[in-house]
Structure 1
Amino acid sequence: MTTTVKCPTCEKTVIWSAQSPFRPFCSERCKLIDLGDWAAENHRIPDKQPIDTALSEEFLAELEQEFLAKDNQFFQE
């Protein structure tokens, strides 16, 4: 049984065997196009969700109040 896949770049059918040295790509050209896309970060793992600055500021204010409420000597002379 012969396994075939689609080239990720051009979607041509590629036979998955030792006779296809660029598998899963159909050619070196398609392989290099894909490599270039990775280098340009077109195929990257998404970043974490952006930080909500309003919530961050609120959280920092709460931490500061909690720290000051513990009667720490850090800010006192």
Structure 2
Amino acid sequence: MSDKELTLEAQVKDLASRVMELESREAFHEYTVENLNQTIIRQQEMLDRLVRVSQQLIDKVKEMPSSEEKAWSADEEVPPHY
């Protein structure tokens, strides 16, 4: 074989190695993006639940009688040991 063929063969091997490295990196990036996407989905679900619970709490507070409507009475309070 001539030096030109060896050089061409070496270049092909080098390019094949570089392509494999790029494919490996691309696979890692896909994996990372998918993990990040799943994390964002879980966080959004958690935020949605928190918003629902917050709204329920706001609604309950609004339904509570104001201090002007009904004053607190110690007679109505249940002792902590009951």
Same fold (TM over 0.5): no
* Structure with a larger share of its residues in strand: 1
Give the TM-score, by structure 2 length. 0.30
Give 1 or 2 for the bigger CA radius of gyration: 2
Indicate the structure whose relative CO is greater, using CA pairs within 8 Å and at least 6 residues apart.
1
Higher helix share: 2
